[in-house]
Amino acid sequence: MTFKEILEKYGVTASELSRRCGVSTSTLSTFVNGRSKCQNMQMTTFLRICKGLDIPFETFVEDLFDGEEENPGKKALLSGDEESLVSDFRGFNAQAKSCLMRVSSAMKLDPSNMQRNRETQAEAQASPSADTSPDAPDKTD
């Protein structure tokens, strides 16, 4: 479906949706008129539109890529890891969700954490895997 068809399906105009979700009418019109593809839409915009339409994210994605073979656009929106995180997050209780959100916020506040994590991951991938068998000698200095 086109973005215009989605708006028609839910009986809302671009200006009404703009009012509901806080996304500018000019931004929405680029998608309505086909000047920009919805696959290029920022995730925050996607989520705001879903909220404005009062539909779950998955429904919007299904509508958007309805009829496309193997739904290729859905894969472009979320990587496998991202999809897994979203799925896991939905299964968490409120306390676990709150904890995860605090960790996420802390990581955004201290970008050096993310850089250190990238460096650690790169080092782990570059070095041969350590012997973790129970018979391996302890490598303490």
User: For 34-73, how does the pLDDT look when each residue is reduced to its tens digit (9 = 90+)?
Assistant: 777 776 778 888 889 989 999 888 888 888 776 554 444 4
**Does 121 or 21 have the greater pLDDT score?**
21
Q: Cα–Cα distances in Å, from 40 out to 5, 127, 134?
A: 18, 37, 50
**Which region among 2-11, 28-37, 123-132 has the lowest average model confidence (pLDDT)?**
123-132
What is the mean predicted confidence (pLDDT) over 93-119?
73
| pLDDT surpassing 50 at residue 115 | yes
Range among 13-27, 28-42, 100-114 rated most confident: 13-27
User: What is the rounded average pLDDT for all residues in the chain?
Assistant: 75
Confidence of residue 20 (pLDDT cuts 50, 70, 90): very high
**Does 140 or 26 have the greater pLDDT score?**
26
Q: How far is 49 from 19, CA to CA, in rounded Å?
A: 10
Confidence of residue 16 (pLDDT cuts 50, 70, 90): very high
The reported pLDDT for the residue numbered 133 is 47
**Does 73 or 91 have the greater pLDDT score?**
91
Tell me if 117 sits within 8 A of 103, measured CB to CB. Answer: no
Q: How far is 82 from 88, CA to CA, in rounded Å?
A: 10
Query: Residue 101 half-sphere exposure, CB side, CA atoms within 13 Å?
Result: 9
